[in-house]
Amino acid sequence: MTEARLVAGVDCSTQATKVVVCDAETGAVLREGRAPHPDGTQVDPAEWWKAWEIASDGLLDGVEAISVGGQQHGMVLLDEAGEVVHPAVLWNDTSSADATVELVEELGGPGAWAEAVGSVPVPSFTVTKLRWVRDADATAPGDAARREASARAAAVVLPHDWMTHRLAADRHGIEGITTDRGDASGTGWWSPATNSYRPDLVELAFGRSLKLPRVAGPAEIVGHTASGAVLAAGTGDNAAAALGLDLQPGDVAVSLGTSGTAFARSTHPTADPTALVAGFADATGEYLPLVCTLNAARVLSATAELLSLDLDAFNEAALTSSGSNGLVLLPFLDGERTPDLPHSTGLIYGLTRATAQPATMARAAVEGLLCGLADAVDALRAQGLPVHRVLLLGGAARSRAVQALAPALLGAEVILPEPAEYVALGAARQAAWALSGADAPPTWHVPVSKPEPSVMSDAVAAQVRALYGQVLTNTVPLLSTPYNR
């Protein structure tokens, strides 16, 4: 019997580092590890390395290839020696909201950005974070760290780029750092349509040039670890998840984690001047149009806490309610990326004595969360992408209330991939691809199931979505006003 070849996939996410060791041929997970990251929207990358060492401890014996899937958009600034000069500014840091408005206008508006790089920047994008660093107030004592970082910076990389380079045995300063198409497409200075950088946009944002990582091919070997394991190119978290899920044409993945995302494979690049759909690349050489919201699973946990319910009781309350009865919850608890309302807060509309009930509030929270993601799925449809079925995943996808309401509100068949670390699995699949030297990634089976039948009719879903849309449209001026949290 031939001994299995082993590969490892790493998910360096917002909240934790997760490692899976898999059989390279079948994808069977043989070992797993996990370690948390510090909370916050700015983090010293050294914390990611510490988490990697803990999560991978005792797992890597016999591993022949490793790939890293990393949180998209995070900005890591390095000096000439490769030293980090400022805490990594993560995707969910909205400090660059004002810088975003400036940058979009300076290039000529949303259409100009969509044409240049396939996406219109929002505060999550790395390009806006560069401008935020550049614009540190010269007179403000609290901005001293940004001023120093701006002066010392020689290169800008992403979290997965930094981790991959750190894993390489032969790294030298900032020489040889690589990225991939999937992660590069979230920076705001790389175009999926032309497969090329726009260094002029780096200069627009930062005022001078910076060294950028080389964009490696999907199955390229970019180095080796100290133990001799192959290092694959790695990719961004959503591209890795798409690879782990083996998305097919007509599939849309809707992920309900810290953020909410809806993404699909496409054979052609997209460029949406409305800024709803980001025209990203995927990890296979194709494209990954994506819509991202800042608020997902924590909407449910925050509402459950407000109601003094645990999550099981919260789900039961939402399911026993006869409906939200006109109660609408706009779930922008942490600001919002899509729609672009970085200064917004959550909002409850339709509160009466009749609707001020735990079950009604729980139902409205689930509906509000799903209405936001339904808008995301519709935005993909508007880009000409077919939506035959929705793959529902992430922590909140395990909610029975979410499963029961999702088919009607999302307007498509819903299936449930078996809970797994799909970013890490996708990274492992990429590692297996690089190790094999084949033209395509190995075929790994993804087990799925179907949720219970929907408890909401299509007619009621249409009413809920219409009211949600009316409330959102009528309150945009209020939600656009900066609020001192």
Written as one string, the DSSP assignment of 46-105 is HHHHHHHHHHHTTT-TTEEEEEEEE-TT-BEEE-TTS-B-S-EE-TT--TTHHHHHHHHH
The Cα 199–Cα 218 span in angstroms is 22
The Cα 239–Cα 235 span in angstroms is 6
Q: Are 48 and 87 in contact (CB under 8 A)?
A: no
Residue written as token pair 């009607």: 408
Phi/psi of residue 44, each to 5°? -70, 120
Would the CA dihedral through 468, 472, 474, 475 be positive or negative?
positive
Would the CA dihedral through 52, 53, 55, 57 be positive or negative?
positive
pTM of the model: 0.91
| Res 478: pLDDT | 87
| Res 341: pLDDT | 87
> Strands 178-180 and 76-78, how do they pair?
unpaired
**Which helix or strand (DSSP H or E) is residue 466 part of?**
helix 458-479
Tens digits of pLDDT across the chain (485 residues)? 578 899 999 999 999 999 999 999 999 999 999 999 999 999 999 999 999 999 999 999 999 999 999 999 999 999 999 999 999 999 989 899 999 999 999 999 999 999 999 999 999 999 999 999 999 877 777 788 899 999 999 999 999 999 999 999 988 899 999 999 999 999 999 999 999 999 999 999 999 999 999 999 999 999 999 999 999 999 999 999 999 999 998 999 999 988 899 999 999 999 999 889 999 999 999 999 999 998 999 999 999 999 999 999 999 999 999 899 999 999 999 888 889 888 899 999 999 999 999 999 999 999 999 999 999 999 999 999 999 999 999 889 999 999 999 999 999 999 999 999 999 999 999 999 999 999 999 999 999 999 988 889 999 999 999 999 999 999 998 888 876 55
The answer on whether 165 is annotated among ligand-binding residues is: no
In three-state secondary structure terms, 274 is coil
Domain 6-245+420-437, CATH homologous superfamily name and number: ATPase, nucleotide binding domain (3.30.420.40)
| Res 92: pLDDT | 87
Q: How far is CA 300 from the centre of its chain?
A: 19
| Res 228: pLDDT | 96
The Cα 110–Cα 116 span in angstroms is 10
Q: ∠ CA 447-60-55 to the nearest 5 degrees?
A: 75
Catalytic residues: 237
The set of long-range contacts for 38-42, using a CB threshold of 8 Å and a minimum separation of 24, is: 39/15, 40/90, 41/89, 41/90, 41/92, 41/93, 41/94, 41/95, 42/87, 42/88, 42/89, 42/90, 42/93
In three-state secondary structure terms, 179 is strand
End-to-end CA distance of the chain: 62
- In this structure, what token pair is assigned to residue 191? 């175009």
Considering only CA atoms, which of 402, 444, 409 is closest in space to residue 426? Answer: 444
> Strands 178-180 and 214-216, how do they pair?
parallel
Q: How many CB atoms lie within 10 A of CB 348?
A: 16
E-only strand ranges, 319-388:
328-330, 347-349
The Cα 431–Cα 442 span in angstroms is 10
For 147, residues 6+ apart whose C-beta sits below 8 A from its C-beta are 136, 138
Considering only CA atoms, which of 184, 85, 74 is closest in space to residue 126? Answer: 74
Residue written as token pair 């009413």: 463
**Which helix or strand (DSSP H or E) is residue 381 part of?**
helix 358-382
The answer on whether 15 is annotated among ligand-binding residues is: no
| Res 191: pLDDT | 97
C-alpha distance from residue 363 to each of 317, 376, 432 (Å): 7, 20, 43
The Cα 432–Cα 426 span in angstroms is 10
